Structure 1
Amino acid sequence: MNADNVAVDAGIPAPADLRRVLGHFATGVAVIAAHDGTRPLGFTCQSVVSVSLDPPYVSFCPAKSSTSWPLLREAGALCINILAEEQSALCRQFAVSGADKFAGVEWDRAGNGAPALAGALAHIEVSVELEHDAGDHTVVLARIGDLRAAEDGRPLLFYRGGFGGFAA
């Protein structure tokens, strides 16, 4: 055991320990969405990060096991929907594999044609520029084309395996 009570075997922490310790870092939650010309597509993602202001880049990390990501990549134009505190049910809906994720979901097309979800705190329109292999995930670097944010509202946060809100 080390100082953080994490069992270390030859310097490689167990996945359960990684999840437990890294779960102490609160993250926002987003739905990455696209439209393939016939239907809307999307998945829940908690690994969205601002990368660069000039040029404007963000990054996100879909799991390699994702069945949605290859379809979104093929569609090209994406919208990153930053979820509001009251959208935890929507977050769960987009996290289920194989389901009709857009059933009952209100959305409009963003300027790039990708789905912009109603009630989201922000919409970031992007195009994929680069993908990098990263173990069981892929690191995606995407160029921002346009973006907008709500005037008010609170973010949906993920912390230690659960959802919650932000209190100032």
Structure 2
Amino acid sequence: MQMSDQRSFVPDPDNGRLLRDAFGRFATGVTVVTAASDDGCVAITANSFSSVSMEPPLVLWSPALASARYPAFARAEHFAIHVLAADQASLAWEVARNRDALQGLSANAEGVPVLDRCLARFDCSRFALHEAGDHAIVIGRVLRASIGEGEPLAFFGGRQASIRVN
């Protein structure tokens, strides 16, 4: 792609859709983050996940401050991040629509509700929480990790996407 094929802009409130579309050009995996709350399991679908550090082992994700689910995650001392497989797309969308989609799960050693199956799971303790614009950056120290098999669930351009693994 030649630079002339690209559209440049300065982000401002009047062109927020363009910025959102530009962010969407970065293909990401899809996660479901869970925590225990006074009302049971609280879960949120997030594609804002990244590894941060190997020593100590740290990961991050970024929930929206305006989310009705945010206060439960801001209070949580422990949470689990589940990296979803391609065949778990319906789960990702159900959790995105319904805060209470994941009731009755088994719990890890810290009492966090966890999915039985996913490509990877990171059981975390909260390491840091930083407000950053209209989102927060939640950094977790990985206490345990697990790995499963399968093709990844991906998100690109505002839609579910496929990543073929050779």
Q: What range describes the TM-score normalised by the shorter chain of this pair? A: 0.7 to 0.9
Q: Superposed, which structure 2 residues align to 1:18-33 within 5 Å?
A: 18-33=19-34
Match of 1:74 in 2: 75
The one-character-per-residue Cα deviations of 1:130-162 (angstroms, maximum 9, x if unpaired) are 122211111111111111111x21111001111
Q: Structure 2-normalised TM-score?
A: 0.87
Does the Cα contact within 8 Å between 1:40 and 1:102 map onto a contact in 2?
Answer: yes
Q: Does 1:114 align with 2:115?
A: no
The Cα of 1:107 is off from its aligned counterpart by: 3.2
The Cα of 1:124 is off from its aligned counterpart by: 0.4
**Amino acid paired to 2:62:** C
Which segment is superposed worse, 52-61 or 107-116? 107-116
Q: Percent identity?
A: 30
Instruction: Measure the CA separation in 1 of the matches of 2:153 and 2:110.
Output: 25
Does the Cα contact within 8 Å between 1:61 and 1:138 map onto a contact in 2?
Answer: yes
Instruction: Measure the CA separation in 2 of the matches of 1:46 and 1:162.
Output: 12
Q: Superposed, which structure 2 residues align to 1:53-132 within 5 Å?
A: 53-96=54-97, 99-102=99-102, 107-132=105-130
User: What are the ranges of 5 or more consecutive residues in structure 1 without an aligned counterpart?
Assistant: none
Runs ≥4 residues deviating over 4 A: none
Instruction: Measure the CA separation in 2 of the matches of 1:72 and 1:17.
Output: 29
Q: Structure 1-normalised TM-score?
A: 0.86
User: What are the ranges of 5 or more consecutive residues in structure 2 without an aligned counterpart?
Assistant: none
